[in-house]
């Protein structure tokens, strides 16, 4: 029997692009169903991430128009990673395989067939990997590649040029459910789950409509999250740097004492200022990095829910409570 596939599509303020891409998702799913590769029970599950525009209305209309569309809505905006997780967890008991894919058409939807084939060939995880970065700006291309190299140096295992376009089997999903961390960086977390994996190459295109929700600030925050939630090597580097600076300082002290004894001291304003500035800068960076980790520990200890689903398209919207007239008398 063919597998039940759930395509998880996070959507945040995407009223412009959803009407365009929803048809493409359904086209690809129908093709897979007709080819007998996935079951007719397969679905496209949109996750509305607390959008402020008409995204949820668009999703509800889609769900009413074709049984292959489903939607869940988060109680508020929680960010891309949490939206994907909410969709994955929702699909956990319903699907044999899930594919997470951005809703803006940037990830080549037709690569899903190759992913499903790779699953049947024995992979529990199939990573969508960008074959080239022609559509990226010079800045984004270079910073992204430097970041992957940096993550690698920091000991975090991520697949080069893979974002969040991937197939996961229900077996991997069940194990993923046991990772309770609040600071989510799925592309680093999923390789930690293990199991057999493979890669499928695809070309990443321009957005079909709407605009990006990842401006530079959010991208930097995601990058910092990636490193600090996957690796403690920066803390180790701080300790090493502290050791080296302490050693240099010790040599400096001996040098200063010798100069003093030999009567070679002169008014050394510039050198003292440089040393103070340098060392205090290094200390502040070190404190900042340590602070990042403490902040993460703080958030983890609270153990707050990572997502809250407020509505599902297959359930009736919550009815208004009817006032109990008998009590008023």
Q: How many other CB atoms are there within 10 angstroms of residue 245's CB atom? A: 15
Q: Which is nearer to Mg ion, 106 or 161 (CB)?
A: 106
Owner of token pair 């200063």: 256
- Rg over CA atoms, the chain: 26
The helix/strand/coil state of 308 is coil
The helix/strand/coil state of 164 is strand
Name which of ligand UDP, Mg ion, none residue 17 binds, using a CB cut-off of 5 to 8 Å depending on partner kind: none
Closest contact distance (angstroms) between CB of 104 and ligand UDP is 5
Name which of Mg ion, ligand UDP, none residue 213 binds, using a CB cut-off of 5 to 8 Å depending on partner kind: ligand UDP
On whether the CB atoms of residues 187 and 164 are closer than 8 A, the answer is yes
Which residues touch 250 (CB under 8 Å, ≥6 apart)? none
Q: Which is nearer to ligand UDP, 77 or 143 (CB)?
A: 77
Q: How many other CB atoms are there within 10 angstroms of residue 255's CB atom? A: 10
CA distances from 122 to 6, 9, 118, 196, 289 (A): 18, 24, 7, 7, 41
H or E element: which one contains 309? strand 309-312
Which residues touch 308 (CB under 8 Å, ≥6 apart)? 74, 75, 76
- Based on the shown chain and the rule CB under 6 A, indicate whether residue 106 belongs to the binding site for ligand UDP: yes
Binding string, residues 278-317; x marks residues near ligand UDP by CB under 6 A: ----------------------------------------
Separation of first and last alpha carbons in the chain? 61
Name which of Mg ion, ligand UDP, none residue 77 binds, using a CB cut-off of 5 to 8 Å depending on partner kind: ligand UDP
The helix/strand/coil state of 162 is strand
Q: Which is nearer to ligand UDP, 96 or 104 (CB)?
A: 104
- Region near ligand UDP per CB under 6 A, out of 21-29, 102-110, 292-300, 313-321: 102-110
Name which of ligand UDP, Mg ion, none residue 214 binds, using a CB cut-off of 5 to 8 Å depending on partner kind: ligand UDP
CA distances from 149 to 146, 158, 188, 258, 276 (A): 5, 10, 13, 44, 32
According to CB under 6 A, which residues from 33 to 52 bind ligand UDP?
49
Closest contact distance (angstroms) between CB of 28 and Mg ion is 18
According to CB under 5 A, which residues from 75 to 134 bind Mg ion?
102, 104, 106
User: Which token pair is 134?
Assistant: 């022609």
H or E element: which one contains 7? strand 5-11
Q: Which is nearer to ligand UDP, 52 or 174 (CB)?
A: 52
| Size of interface with ligand UDP, in residues (CB under 6 A) | 16
Name which of ligand UDP, Mg ion, none residue 10 binds, using a CB cut-off of 5 to 8 Å depending on partner kind: ligand UDP
Closest contact distance (angstroms) between CB of 292 and ligand UDP is 21
According to CB under 6 A, which residues from 159 to 198 bind ligand UDP?
none
Residues that bind Mg ion (CB under 5 A): 102, 104, 106
Residues that bind ligand UDP (CB under 6 A): 10-12, 14, 49, 77, 79-80, 83, 102-104, 106, 212-214
């Amino acid at each position: 029997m063919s597998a039940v596939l759930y395509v998880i599509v996070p959507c945040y303020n995407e009223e412009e692009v959803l009407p365009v891409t929803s048809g493409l998702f359904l086209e690809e799913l129908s093709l897979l169903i007709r080819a007998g590769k996935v079951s007719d029970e397969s679905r496209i599950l949109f996750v509305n991430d607390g959008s402020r525009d008409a995204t949820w209305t668009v999703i509800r209309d889609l769900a009413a128009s074709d049984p292959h569309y489903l939607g869940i809505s988060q109680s508020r905006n929680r960010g891309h990673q949490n939206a994907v997780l909410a969709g994955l967890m929702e699909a956990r008991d319903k699907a044999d395989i899930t594919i997470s894919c951005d809703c803006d058409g940037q990830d080549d939807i037709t690569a899903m067939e190759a992913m499903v084939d790779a699953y049947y060939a024995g992979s529990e995880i199939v990573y969508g990997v960008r074959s080239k970065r022609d559509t990226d700006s010079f800045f984004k291309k270079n910073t992204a590649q430097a970041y992957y190299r940096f993550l690698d140096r920091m000991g975090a295992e991520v697949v080069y040029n893979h974002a969040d376009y991937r197939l996961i089997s229900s077996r991997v999903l069940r194990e993923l459910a046991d990772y309770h961390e609040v600071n989510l960086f799925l592309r680093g977390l999923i390789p930690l789950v293990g199991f057999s994996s493979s890669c499928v190459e695809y070309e990443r295109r321009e957005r079909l409509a709407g605009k990006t929700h990842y401006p530079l600030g959010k991208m930097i925050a995601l990058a910092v999250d990636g490193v600090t939630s996957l690796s403690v090597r920066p803390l180790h580097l701080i300790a090493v740097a502290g050791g080296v600076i302490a050693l240099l300082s010790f040599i400096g002290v001996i040098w200063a004492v010798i100069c003093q004894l030999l009567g070679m001291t002169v008014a050394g304003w510039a050198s003292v200022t440089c040393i103070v500035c340098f060392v205090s800068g290094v200390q502040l960076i070190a404190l900042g990095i340590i602070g990042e980790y403490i902040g993460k520990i703080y958030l983890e200890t609270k153990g707050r829910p990572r997502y809250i689903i407020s509505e599902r398209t297959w359930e009736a919207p919550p009815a208004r409570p009817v006032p109990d007239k008998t009590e008023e008398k």
